[in-house]
């Protein structure tokens, strides 16, 4: 009995460390209970703090990057500050000094901006740096209303940049995406030769991210072929689930995926062992067609992460702004001694040097950027719909041409 009580108590304490009560503002998996891990990316200089984020168990890692700066730390790409996340930062503060600056280098990354006010409250003496052109949805609220104190809030570009002697800052955008604007400002940490970005580039590999070791449910849920199959935890199932999550996260609706008739979905549900919320009562409304695995492996690196422009960004944000994207890459290719990319999604550290950057530029120049074939079909149809409804503009640069 005492053991049971202790276990329950430990579970409660552990859960309270992961709690994030503001989750209804951006209701994505894993909702109000977010496991956080920390990884040292560059010894004694850069750390990645990761949580999962997704929809319908399609979860991928999202990352806050911590950089050692003179007399303290700088946080880039904020995340929901659960007690667990703050405890990791406190450990770094004990060794390296206080958090001096918190940087939100994106104007559109809702998943980071949602955490900025809470971060501002956690680090009351830190300077807050924002990418210009911040907007909120569905209501565009002023920054003060969102909980960002004006006396310690600054804007990248307009007010300069934090530590320009240590970092080079390179802006991508702004691009008009209808609801607001897309812009992200890459940050090159010269000492560690690391380029820290938000969404534009990612590196994906075939090994499921470490966070799934704490709860592999999303992998196992999507590794099945129908709702009547139990969630079975094997390495193969985890790997299969990961390939499918990558396809979902990259293309929203992969082309070798169909939705079975509702009668079939219902018929496969509520089987013994699956009548629980974890298994969504056995409801699995997808059917993967032959060849799906091969199409996943085209965007996943085998031995090391495969560097790429995130397909959603390419097809929904930059379809008519290829040159803007290339200009940004051109500037990145001139950064002296670049060695690695640390983006806010997928792999924490990706080999990225000037040669790789030039290679990427060449491959983009020779690709059909507005591709509508295969996995790009759904994104292309969606883009055309938004264009026809005038939700997104034909010329996404027009608004900012002056
Ligand atoms: Fe993102």
What's the 61 CA to ligand 1 centre distance in angstroms?
10
Query: pTM (2 decimals)?
Result: 0.92
22-49 residue pLDDT tens? 888 888 888 888 999 999 999 999 999 9
Average confidence (pLDDT) over 123-152: 81
pLDDT of residue 180: 85
pLDDT of residue 205: 95
DSSP string, 137-173: SSS---TTTTT--GGGEEETBTTB-S-TTTEEEEEEE
What's the 3 CA to ligand 1 centre distance in angstroms?
42
Residues with CB under 5 A from ligand 1 (ion): 109, 199
Average confidence (pLDDT) over 354-361: 96
**Hey, what CATH class is 2-205+309-362 in?**
alpha beta
CA 4 to chain centre: 38
pLDDT of residue 103: 98
pLDDT of residue 242: 97
What's the 289 CA to ligand 1 centre distance in angstroms?
28
What's the 322 CA to ligand 1 centre distance in angstroms?
20
200-244 residue pLDDT tens? 999 999 999 999 999 999 999 999 999 889 999 999 999 999 999
What's the 112 CA to ligand 1 centre distance in angstroms?
7
Q: Check residues 5 and 184 and name the one with the higher pLDDT.
A: 184
Nearest-angstrom CA–CA distance, 251 and 38 = 28
What's the 62 CA to ligand 1 centre distance in angstroms?
7
Average confidence (pLDDT) over 72-94: 96
**Confidence band, pLDDT 50/70/90 cuts, at residue 11:** low
What's the 59 CA to ligand 1 centre distance in angstroms?
12
What's the 275 CA to ligand 1 centre distance in angstroms?
33
pLDDT at residue 93 tops 90: yes
Tell me where in the chain the CATH 3.60.15.10 domain(s) lie.
2-205+309-362
pLDDT of residue 16: 85
């Amino acid at each position: 009995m005492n053991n049971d009580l202790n276990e329950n108590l430990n579970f409660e304490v552990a859960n309270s460390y992961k709690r994030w009560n503001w989750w209804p503002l951006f209701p994505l998996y894993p909702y109000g209970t977010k496991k956080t891990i920390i990884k040292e990316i560059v010894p004694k200089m850069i750390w990645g703090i990761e949580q999962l984020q997704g929809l319908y168990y399609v979860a991928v890692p999202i990352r806050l990057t911590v950089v050692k700066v003179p007399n303290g730390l700088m946080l880039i790409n904020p995340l929901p500050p659960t007690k667990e996340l703050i405890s990791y930062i406190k450990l770094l503060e004990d060794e390296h000094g206080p958090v001096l600056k918190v940087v939100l280098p994106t104007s559109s990354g809702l998943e980071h901006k949602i955490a900025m006010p809470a971060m501002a409250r956690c680090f009351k003496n830190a300077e807050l740096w924002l990418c210009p052109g911040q907007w909120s949805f569905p209501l565009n609220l002023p920054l003060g209303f969102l909980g960002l104190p004006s006396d310690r809030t600054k804007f990248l570009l307009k007010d300069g940049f934090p530590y320009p002697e240590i970092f080079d800052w390179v802006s991508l955008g702004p691009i008009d995406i209808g609801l607001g604007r897309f812009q992200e400002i890459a940050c090159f940490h010269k000492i560690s030769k690391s380029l820290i970005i938000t969404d534009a580039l990612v590196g994906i590999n075939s090994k499921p991210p470490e966070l799934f070791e704490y709860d592999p449910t999303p992998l196992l849920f999507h590794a099945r072929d129908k709702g009547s199959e139990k969630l079975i935890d094997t390495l193969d199932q985890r790997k299969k689930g990961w390939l499918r999550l990558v396809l979902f996260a990259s293309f929203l609706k992969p082309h070798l995926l169909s939705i079975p008739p509702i009668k079939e979905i219902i018929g496969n549900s509520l089987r013994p062992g699956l009548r629980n919320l974890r298994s969504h009562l056995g409801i699995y409304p997808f059917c993967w067609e032959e060849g799906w695995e091969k199409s996943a492996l085209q965007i996943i690196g085998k031995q090391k992460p495969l560097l790429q422009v995130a397909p959603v960004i390419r097809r929904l944000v930059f379809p008519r702004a290829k040159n803007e994207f290339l200009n940004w890459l051109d500037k990145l290719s001139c950064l002296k001694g670049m060695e690695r990319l640390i983006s806010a999604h997928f792999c924490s550290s990706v080999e990225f040097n000037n040669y790789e950057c030039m290679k990427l530029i060449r491959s983009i120049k020779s690709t059909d950027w507005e591709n509508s074939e295969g996995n790009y079909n759904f994104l292309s149809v969606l883009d055309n719909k938004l264009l026809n409804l005038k939700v997104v503009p034909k010329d996404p640069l027009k608004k900012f041409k002056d």
